[in-house]
Homo-oligomer: A and B are copies of this chain.
Amino acid sequence: MNILFIMYDQLRFDYLSCAGHPVLKTPNFDRVAAMGVRFTQAHVQSPVCGSSRMSFYTGRYASSHGAQWNGYPLRVGEMTMGDHLRALGMGCYLIGKTHMVADAEGMARLGLAADTVIGARQSECGFDAVVRDDGLWGEGPDGFYDRKRSPYNEYLKEKGYPSDNPWQDFANAGISGDDIASGWFFRNADKPANVREEDSETPWLTDRALDFLKTADGPWCAHLSYIKPHWPYIVPAPYHDMFGPGDVPPAVRSEEERRDPHPVYAAYMGNRIGQSFSRDEVREKVIPAYMGLIRQCDDQLGRILDHLEETGQMESTMIVLTSDHGDYLGDHWLGEKDLFHQQSVKIPLIVHDPRAEADATRGTTCDALVEAIDLAATFVEVAGGAVPEHIIEGRSLLPFLRGEVPEAWREVVISEYDYSVTPMRDVLGLSSRDARLFMVFDGRWKLIHAEGGFRPMLFDLKTDPEEFHDLGAEETYAAVVERLYGHLHAWGLRMSQRVTRSEGDLEKMRGRAARVGILPFLYDGSEVPEALTVKYRGKAGADFTKG
């Protein structure tokens, strides 16, 4: 079986019709949901691109792999799904975005050059890169955000878009009279991007994926990783005006949230992003574009599904649809992601397993507490391996696909956030070590622990599904807080770095010492079993004690 692991960027869990969106129709996402299982309680390990993705790819928590924010390199040697799958005979390919930054210092220390196979995989997060494009070809006085050549930009140039940076000047900009209407500015979000629809990013990457599917030798795992519906929020015709202000759901926010908020939440509400998304005109410009981008993603997904069906590959391909985090879109007076309301930390996760064992669950949902790190474990099992539990901290989801309930499934989800390099750290006056948040969620209660001496935040999603009422300061809930802290503290002491010895290795070590002649703590040797008798070959040697 092959695995088509499709990730969207910043796609909210509830902006799909199968997940109940009141306006937006996503027939192709729904088509996969009808063929598989939709997980309704899937969470990222960190609500920010880079860190979340490194958790998906390594199967490890953010503070286990250490790449805890965008641009923190993943340390050299940290194993990813590519390493695990290739060892099982399954190729592992990248088509699109990872947000990976190579550990150049670590690679230099180990003498690894990026132009070797091993070095390239270390640089590309363990994938063999068919196409790597992180889709943020921003440019400013210090140069480009992405430092690599953008295959997408090169494509646009070949297609005749007259700019050194057509990503910025065409694909992510509209026209305003004789000038460019930058897609960076929300004011322009309702304009059509000045690019032929088939040349825009999502169809371009879909073409690359179809090229791959036409020639790939299996078994393979292909990570098709779209930049959209991530900002800049601008989309080409006809998607730019499919939705209008009247299609924008009301903001999920309450005045109560602004009364005496937790200091960390207050800092986020007060930042430029929160301020901006709290304006209705911003939501009314941005959200229709966001919906258009998703609708375009859905159409492109349809092309892939059609291809798989037409070529008979659907029967041999696991399909996974997910996202690296959500998007507040003005809910809770916030924009972007970063914090742990479900708009940010929850993700869509739909898994189609074509095998007969999964027939019973097709078209169902599963509300088990699922984490992003579970996918790496799942894929290892699909590739025929046993999950290396000393490295991968997630658990395989295959039992759920067969309708089974795995034994001792996790009681809580953990998610983390490192905001060391953000302005909110300054607002709160914290050291870089204290600018960290941890979420513990048991399916009902959500505790958010903030380092730096703050009280916790607490939400009861049963009585307050919209997460408006922060109960963290209320004595009534002390026992709940204590219980969730218990989970957090147990997790803090977890065994996460014993990566060079598997459970099996440990079993083999037991008793080994005696069998290789380490026999201490014996009085006279009568305690030594015959089988372990020490061989002496220097018997009756000269007496050397006289020197």
Residues of A within 8 A of B (CB): 63-68, 71-77, 79, 83, 103, 105-106, 109-112, 116, 118, 122, 136-145, 161-166, 168-170, 173-175, 178-180, 182, 184-187, 192-199, 231-232, 236-237, 272-273, 276-277, 279, 281-282, 335-336, 418, 420-422, 432-433, 436, 438, 449, 451, 485, 488-489, 491-501, 503, 506, 509-510, 512-525, 527, 531-532, 534-545, 547
Contacts and interface: CB of A to CB of B under 8 A. Distances in A.
Contact of A141 (B74, B142, B532): B532
Interface of A is mostly: loop
B547 A196 contact: yes
B496 A534 contact: no
Given A145-B518, A195-B545, A500-B105, A180 B538 contact: yes
A409 to B, nearest CB: 16
A521 B110 contact: no
A276 B506 contact: no
A511 to B, nearest CB: 8
13 contacts: A64-B497, A65-B497, A66-B499, A138-B513, A139-B534, A162-B542, A169-B536, A169-B538, A173-B536, A173-B538, A272-B527, A336-B520, A451-B493
Contacts of A336: 520-521
Nearest to A434: B495
B540 A178 contact: yes
Contact of A541 (B170, B451, B498): B170
Nearest to A272: B521
Contact of A162 (B83, B137, B496, B538): B538
Nearest to A179: B539
Contacts of A180: 536, 538-539
A17 to B, nearest CB: 27
Contacts of A500: 66-67, 72-75, 103, 105-106
A502 to B, nearest CB: 10
Contacts of A168: 517, 534, 536, 538
A198 to B, nearest CB: 8
